[in-house]
Structure 1
Amino acid sequence: MDALVELLNLIIKHRYDEIEFDEIINHMDSISVQDLMYMEEGIKQLSEIYITLQRVKQIWKTL
């Protein structure tokens, strides 16, 4: 799980041009398939939360 946290930190740093994309690719070797499966499930859950919040926002606007 620590490898996933480090990967997310690297992605954020890349987003703000603090590191090169190659550093992210090099880090991928330390991530297991199980870690990626956890990450995939987490992304699905975050997507569902985001969609729900967007719906609440739309309903709130109509009140």
Structure 2
Amino acid sequence: MAPRPALIKQVELTRVAKAMQAAGIKSWRIIARPDGSQEVVVGSMDTATLGPDPDELFR
């Protein structure tokens, strides 16, 4: 019996990883389901890329 194809290809994972890094997102994961659907779950963002804290601007 031949092995089944991968749920997500390495080129797709690399593309998502580079996009997350460029957006400043530190924590993320991909959920690849057996039906072929994929979901990217984002955990947190790097605060350095968001700009200054609005509360700090008024002090």
* TM-score, structure 1 as length reference: 0.36
Structure having the higher strand fraction is 2
Larger of the two Rg values belongs to structure: 2
Structure having the higher helix fraction is 1
